[in-house]
Amino acid sequence: MASDEIATAIDGMDYWATRWKEGRTGWHLDKVNQTLIKFLDQLAKDSDPKKFFLPLCGQTYDIKFLYGLGHKIFAIEGVKEVIEGLNERDQLKLQFNPEESIFVSPDGRIVIYVGDILDCPVEKWGPVDCIWDRGSLIAVNYIQRRSYIDIIRRIVKKSEDECNSGKIKII
């Protein structure tokens, strides 16, 4: 098997679907991520609700946590069954729209795109104020990371001055 075939086999949706099905989810936390809690005041400095982007969200408890604080969430997950499980566990009442391949909460404050992150039309659901990426960068195949970074650039709310001045904060 060539190295690019190995990379595709390792990083493809089937690989991740199998990992979830078999319960091989060592990255998954059974609580809200403590780093998110620690730095939330830096991400959402004022009391106004923010729009968060959670790439490759899995079944993170962070969605329900942020939603409970009044924020909006746009997330992406490659495995539909994972979001079905999240929806059932957290009782989010998400409805699946097959035409757009999204799960949506009744009030529209949660939208989760199901599919390949690199194929997601992120501009349709952006821009966002905050990005909470707990580990998707390392889950993306190394040769696709530049494309992943382009996704991040396309969805973040920023002015050209902010980009050029270093005002965009990464924590």
Which CATH number goes with the domain that contains 75?
3.40.50.150
Is position 171 within any domain? no
**pLDDT for res 17:** 80
pLDDT of 3 higher than 50: no
Report strand pairing: 102-104 vs 110-114: antiparallel
**Residue 170, domain member (yes or no):** no
């059932």: which residue's tokens?
88
pLDDT in tens, 4-55: 433 443 457 788 888 888 888 778 788 999 999 999 988 888 788 999 999 9
Instruction: Output the CA–CA distances (angstroms, integers) from residue 84 to 30, 41, 147, in the order listed.
Output: 17, 30, 27
Domain assignment present for residue 48? The answer is yes
Contact criterion met (CB below 8 Å) for 151 and 118: yes
Per-residue tokens: 148 = 């992943």
Transcribe 3-45 into DSSP letters: HHHHHHHHHSHHHHHHHHHTT--TT--SS--HHHHHHHHHHS-
Helix H or strand E segment including 75:
strand 72-77
Residue 62, domain extent = 3-165
DSSP, res 90: H
Query: Which of 11-20, 59-68, 138-147 has the lowest average pLDDT?
Result: 11-20
Round to whole Å and give the CA distance between 41 and 93: 28
What is the average per-residue pLDDT within 87-91?
97
Q: Into how many domains does the chain fold?
A: 1
pLDDT value at residue 28: 77
Per-residue model confidence (pLDDT) at position 14:
82
Distance between CA atoms of 61 and 73, rounded to whole angstroms?
12
- Spatial contact of 16 and 78, defined as CB atoms under 8 Å apart: yes
Average pLDDT estimate for 113-137:
91
Q: The dihedral of CA 116, 23, 81, 133: what is its sign?
A: negative
**Residue 137 CA from chain centroid, whole number:** 11
Asked if residue 24 lies in contact with residue 159, where contact means CB atoms within 8 angstroms, the answer is no
Rounded Cα distance between 10 and 16, Å, is 8
